[in-house]
Structure 1
Amino acid sequence: MNFNEPQLSDGQVRVRCSNAVVPAKPEASAVWQGAIRLHYDRVEAKTQLAEVWHQAPLKVQRSLYPESNGICHTILIHTAGGMVGGDRLNYRLTLAPHAHAVVTTAAASKIYCAQGKQTEQVVEIDIAEDAYLEWLPQEAIVFDRARFQQTLRVNLAPRASWLGWDIYRFGRTARGERFLEGEWRSQTEVWRSGAPLWIDRQWLPGSQEAIDRPHGLNRCSVVGTFAWIGREVDRDLVQQLRESWTALGLAGEAGVSRLQEGVICRYRGQSTAEVRQWFAQAWDRVRFYAIGQPACPVRVWQV
């Protein structure tokens, strides 16, 4: 672990922010180059956020322990309220052996009209032996004419595991907006000891055809992906996840598949409330399967 700064003694936390002067509401020509680095350590029976570094517009709230000292909940804040064309956000998370963290965002993300420039988000995660990260950002709204690319790479050590989800709404549907121009790309890679466990690439060009065709959005506005990568799962877990979707009686479309070392759930529909309800159930079932503990909803989701 090296952020090019002196190491701290156990239990201490360093917080450093950029002092650059930026406008409260950037003009079209201004862009954000935000970054955040978090390192979680395990000290005796407690997971601690041992090192924090952030650069505007990203910030970190204090650590929360609604479950136990062994599981650290962290809430990330994007103070600018959204991303415009040319913005780039970089997240770097590392977990020491046996650490367990739950990371989410304080609010839904907004990806505005790109004005010809691409918006990019890069997430890099390293998880050491027997550590566990749950990466659970709130949904993102992709405005018409936005150009957005997300890249997420997870490196797992032996016996480490990662659980994560992404939820996207295309267009401000409450205002009748559809994603008719622009581009959305998402690339997720999970590796263990140099070998790929799951590589997922998605691409949606903003167009009437992509929105309407069955192999596109099929006239839906919301998509979501939930994945847990850690070890081979039983068929019973896959069946439980499928049955939980059926029992909810929701209107969208969903699917569940086994991975080489994990499981994946997909959603396509019209409601972020629907996908969050199902993913929350999937999280609860998978977490109990993985570590024998039920899921603990993050406090900020209930605000």
Structure 2
Amino acid sequence: MLHQNISTELNRACGTLRAGFAFSRGMTRLTRLHQAGSAKAMLPPAPGCEIVLLNTSGGLTGGDRMDITVTQEAGTHLTVTTQTAERAYRSTTGRARVTARFEVAAGAHLDLLPQETILFDRSALLREQEIALAGDATALWVETLILGRAAMGETVRTLDLTDRRRITRDGRPVFVENLRLGDATLARGESIATLAGCRAFATLVLVAPDAADRLDRARAALGSDGAASAFDGKLVARVMADDGWPLRQAMMRLIQAIRPGPLPRVWQI
């Protein structure tokens, strides 16, 4: 009898994306794009310059790796979003890891508006993201997390999430948030000190000289759905909801209240 060695090691998704933008002939234009593996990008027709990131593997699970770098030169105005919600699935072999860095030169502006990240039961994800501002560069950043899909009857009881978010200016921290969610936190989900029973939550950060001037508009848009404050050239808003759809509606109102122009088309589909 012949014995054949069969590897039980599962294939892992890996993706690398590098994109660069410059101001040329009166508008922001793509100057370079490298994409490999499951990390891809699209540049749809839009009133401004917009890049849509997508993960062709369909989601993240243990051992997957995604590495993204987007660079803007002086004078550019760029919107970065995602084609759909990212999904972190059940993991049996360690963590998925996502690293993303956005470099924004002096005189440039970044709108970082990804769609939601949906975390499934027993998912494991380490994500590290940084917006590196130079000089007087400005940025708007939205990050949304959903713990399972209510419509599908999903409940997240086991989770390993480390989400490190950082905005710097000339190398100095402007906004730093390290989020850690695990089983113990989920077990206290009904506590007002944690999620108060909500399964969807989001953070918005605006770093701009006139951030405080937009605070009243932000609070009016949110109503009782969230809270916002402004200080030291930044506006920070927090929103929670029972599920992803009402949260998305609240975030759309908030973004449109403080940001000129339409939302990315993928947000409206």
Report percent identity of matched pairs.
Answer: 23
Q: Which residue of 2 aligns with 1:16?
A: none
DSSP-derived class of the 1:212 partner: coil
In the alignment, is residue 299 of structure 1 matched against residue 265 of structure 2? yes
In the alignment, is residue 62 of structure 1 matched against residue 43 of structure 2? yes
In the alignment, is residue 280 of structure 1 matched against residue 252 of structure 2? yes
Q: Which residue of 1 aligns with 2:199?
A: 221
DSSP-derived class of the 2:235 partner: strand
Moved more, 117-126 or 253-262: 253-262
Aligned partner (choices 30, 43, 68) of residue 24 of structure 2: 43
Aligned partner (choices 201, 207, 211) of residue 233 of structure 1: 211
Deviation of 1:273 (Å): 2.4
Structure 1 segment 159-174 matched on structure 2, within 5 A:
159-174=136-151
Q: Deviations over 1:40-89 (max 9, x none)?
A: 1110211101110111211111342x32xxx2011122111111111111
Q: Which residue of 1 aligns with 2:230?
A: 258
Structure 1 segment 110-259 matched on structure 2, within 5 A:
110-207=87-184, 208-231=186-209, 233-234=211-212, 236-246=213-223, 253-259=225-231
Task: Give structure 1 regions of 4+ aligned residues with deviation exceeding 6 angstroms.
Answer: none
Q: Which residue of 2 aligns with 1:82?
A: 59
Deviation of 1:107 (Å): 1.0
Q: Deviations over 1:220-256 (max 9, x none)?
A: 110111111122533x52122112212xx6xxx4110
Q: Which residue of 2 aligns with 1:102?
A: 79
Q: Deviations over 1:171-225 (max 9, x none)?
A: 2322322221121121111111122111111111134523222222211110111
DSSP-derived class of the 2:189 partner: helix
Deviation of 1:163 (Å): 0.9
In 1, distance between residues paired with 2:153 and 2:257?
36
Contact between 1:103 and 1:134, CA under 8 Å: does it hold in 2? yes
Count of residue pairs brought into register by the alignment: 261
Gap change, CA 1:239 and 1:163, over 3 Å in 2: same
Contact between 1:204 and 1:216, CA under 8 Å: does it hold in 2? no
Deviation of 1:261 (Å): 1.8
Q: TM-score, normalised by structure 2?
A: 0.91
Q: Which residue of 1 aligns with 2:5?
A: none
Contact between 2:16 and 2:67, CA under 8 Å: does it hold in 1? yes
Q: Which residue of 1 aligns with 2:3?
A: none
Deviation of 1:257 (Å): 1.5
Stretches of structure 1 that go unaligned for 5 or more consecutive residues are: 1-26, 288-293
Q: Deviations over 1:27-51 (max 9, x none)?
A: 9722112111110111021110111
Structure 1 segment 10-49 matched on structure 2, within 5 A:
29-49=10-30
In 2, distance between residues paired with 1:175 and 1:274?
16
Counterpart amino acid of residue 122 in structure 1 = T
Q: TM-score, normalised by structure 1?
A: 0.81
Counterpart amino acid of residue 51 in structure 1 = R
